[in-house]
């Protein structure tokens, strides 16, 4: 299985919205309702922010939202805040295994 494809970087100004894509295949993203997103600040462990494509764990602001179309999942961060600057990774169930994306560094300008 290959890693899911994410853009290496994304950016936006405070208050703006940014969308990060995650492209896979019909064997993972396209064929699974189990797509999740993780936020990782430098030196920290990843934190789950979206699961099952669109659901948010308790404690995650509703500024974070997820969606999926075909083989591409997306994470949208609305109302960007300085603390949103971090690396973001998508993950998908892939048959019997799991696979991560290459990560996207989000910069808040």
Residues that bind other proteins (CB under 8 A): 1, 3, 32, 34-36, 38, 45-48, 51-52, 57, 89, 91-94, 96-103
- Looking at the Cβ atoms of 48 and 109, the one nearer to other proteins is 48
Residues in contact with 104: Cβ distance below 8 Å, sequence separation at least 6, in sequence order = 6, 7, 8, 9, 10, 20, 87, 88, 89
State in angstroms the smallest separation of the CB of 10 from other proteins: 15
From the number of C-beta atoms within 10 Å of its C-beta (0-12, 13-18, 19+), residue 83 rates as exposed
Both tokens of residue 98? 């799991």
State in angstroms the smallest separation of the CB of 72 from other proteins: 17
- Looking at the Cβ atoms of 13 and 58, the one nearer to other proteins is 58
């Amino acid at each position: 299985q290959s890693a899911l494809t994410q853009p290496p970087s994304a950016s936006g100004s405070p208050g703006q919205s940014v969308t990060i894509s995650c492209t896979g295949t019909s064997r993972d993203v396209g064929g699974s309702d189990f797509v999740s997103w993780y936020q990782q600040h430098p030196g920290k462990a990843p934190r789950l922010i979206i699961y099952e494509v669109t659901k948010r764990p308790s404690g995650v602001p509703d500024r974070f939202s997820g969606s999926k179309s075909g083989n591409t999942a997306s994470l949208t961060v609305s109302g960007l805040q300085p603390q949103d600057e971090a690396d973001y990774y998508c993950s998908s169930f892939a048959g019997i295994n799991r696979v991560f994306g290459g990560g996207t560094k989000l910069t808040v300008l």
